Amino acid sequence: MTRILHRSIAAALPHAVSGQGVYIQDAEGRRYIDGSGGAAVSCLGHGNPEVLEAMRVQMDHIAYAHTSFFTTDVAERLAERLVRLAPEGLDYVYPVSGGSEAVEAALKMARQYFVEIGQPQRRHIIARRQSYHGNTIGALAAGGNAWRRAQFQPILPETHHVSPCYAYRDQRPDETTDAYAQRLAAELEAKIIELGADQVIAFVAEPVVGATMGAVPAVPGYFRLIREVCDRYGVLLILDEVMCGMGRTGSLFACTAEEVRPDLVTIAKGLGGGYQPIGAVMLSEQIYRAFADGSGLFQHGHTYIGHPVAAAAADKVVEILSRPGMMEHVQAMGERLQAGLDATLGQSPHVGDIRGRGLFRGIELVADKDGKASFDPALRIHARVKKEAMARGLMCYPMGGTIDGVHGDHVLLAPPYIIQPEEIDQIIDRLAGAIAAATAG
């Protein structure tokens, strides 16, 4: 009996009772290795004593102070730290309570920026098909995931979508990586021109796609070309690092590897490491100045922005993430994970692609490896993998969806950064068993 409206109503979920390191234990005493950090959240694993202590200390001082009355040392400290560690040009922080809130705030900030600087005619947002930017109405509208949008379509504000950067399926056999990136940048440019060269507010994208396609990095050079197109038409570039940020891909900010300077970046998930619900928008001086020199007000706000206990948790998480050796460990464990997956699953007839960066890896499952034919969506292979994995004591994050008419079954792995080599091997072993069982027959 449950009184909670769970996402999947029929599913009988185990009750999590404790967590330590990379393991979660349920009420029946079963242990699960957290191969996905929940949904790429638990970057430091469970029960981190330093983060718990930081929260405790803050709670003893003050748990909550509304930001229309006060700021707090802890929220200011977090903002300072983030700005210090971020790529150059992200100079201010707007703290919120999660990923969708961060995306909503970034979209509204981008729109208000143009109002402030006297370009109120700009009204279009462009994103990519199959992207996921959150479940609130604005963030859902920005996203291009057909399945998540379907029943809400009539109440979603209009947004526009272009192709994702998805080399496994979309790069043509005779096309170089450069030519592929140029084709996608040209598609964005054509979309901007179609909507009106001075009508577009922003282009939104995840540097490494997560929740809908299972860890898909863009091809090298793609984001640099996208930045050039945006600059040509004065369009803001919003990078959604809610899932791929905060060290997940082996650098604190995923966009560092793309060598681009975004105007706005959204972060969440790993920012609080699961210890507190927290997200943030990081913004450029140029955007901040437009507000400061204009109306003097960002026309937005939520009750819990800058929550001191959430800020205390995030400040400690980010401090730990920035310690020497941490990102190197993520990179090394990520490489071990990729190599192990390649060795164990690379030859499987049902594994089409294994990809990703850092401790953010995706596996695309196919009915036929050579022809890249998808499984029948009705088989719900991704859901079967999850069930088989849980039965083997492994949490992984499977997802199914359709991009341009092609169904995909993907599994995302995003374990805590504290993971050790033998635990990586355990994840691979259990996942291989789960995939074999789910795709058998």
Applying CB under 6 A, the residues found at the interface with ligand PMP are 39, 98-100, 103, 132-134, 206, 210-211, 240, 242-243, 268
Distance in Å, CB of 267 to ligand PMP, minimum: 10
What does each C-alpha distance from 71 to 287, 296, 304, 353 come to in angstroms?
Answer: 21, 17, 12, 47
Between strands 216-217 and 208-209, the pairing is antiparallel
If phi > 0 it is left, if psi is from -120 to 50 it is alpha, else beta; for residue 251 that is beta
Distance in Å, CB of 345 to ligand PMP, minimum: 24
Which neighbouring-strand residues pair with 413?
Answer: 361
Alpha-carbon radius of gyration of the chain: 21
Which residue's CB is nearer to ligand PMP, number 98 or number 273?
A: 98
Which residue's CB is nearer to ligand PMP, number 242 or number 351?
A: 242
Distance in Å, CB of 236 to ligand PMP, minimum: 17
Task: Please give the sequence-ordered ranges of beta strands (E in DSSP) within 58-123, or none if there are none.
Answer: 92-96
- By CB atoms closer than 10 A (0-12, 13-18, 19+), residue 317 is buried
| One-letter amino acid of 88 | E
Which residue's CB is nearer to ligand PMP, number 104 or number 315?
A: 104
Q: What is the DSSP letter of 15?
A: P
Which residue's CB is nearer to ligand PMP, number 134 or number 416?
A: 134
Distance in Å, CB of 343 to ligand PMP, minimum: 29
Which residue's CB is nearer to ligand PMP, number 227 or number 248?
A: 248
Residues 37/287, Cβ–Cβ less than 8 Å: no
Q: What is the DSSP letter of 28?
A: T
Distance in Å, CB of 100 to ligand PMP, minimum: 3
Which residue's CB is nearer to ligand PMP, number 143 or number 340?
A: 143
Which residue's CB is nearer to ligand PMP, number 122 or number 133?
A: 133
Distance in Å, CB of 434 to ligand PMP, minimum: 22
What does each C-alpha distance from 226 to 128, 170, 231, 238 come to in angstroms?
Answer: 12, 17, 9, 11
Distance in Å, CB of 279 to ligand PMP, minimum: 6
Which residue's CB is nearer to ligand PMP, number 345 or number 412?
A: 412
Residue number with the shortest CB distance to ligand PMP?
99
How far is the C-alpha of 385 from the C-alpha of 372, rounded, in Å?
A: 19
Distance in Å, CB of 211 to ligand PMP, minimum: 4
Which residue's CB is nearer to ligand PMP, number 399 or number 435?
A: 399
The DSSP string of 354-415 is EEEETTEEEEEE-SBTTTTBPPPGGG-HHHHHHHHHHHTTEE-EEEEEEETTEEEEEEEE--
- By CB atoms closer than 10 A (0-12, 13-18, 19+), residue 331 is middle
Distance in Å, CB of 357 to ligand PMP, minimum: 15
Which residue's CB is nearer to ligand PMP, number 360 or number 375?
A: 360
Of the chain, the end-to-end C-alpha distance in Å amounts to 34
Distance in Å, CB of 101 to ligand PMP, minimum: 7
- The residue written with tokens 């009355």 in the block is 69
What are the helix and strand counts (H, E) for the chain? 14, 17
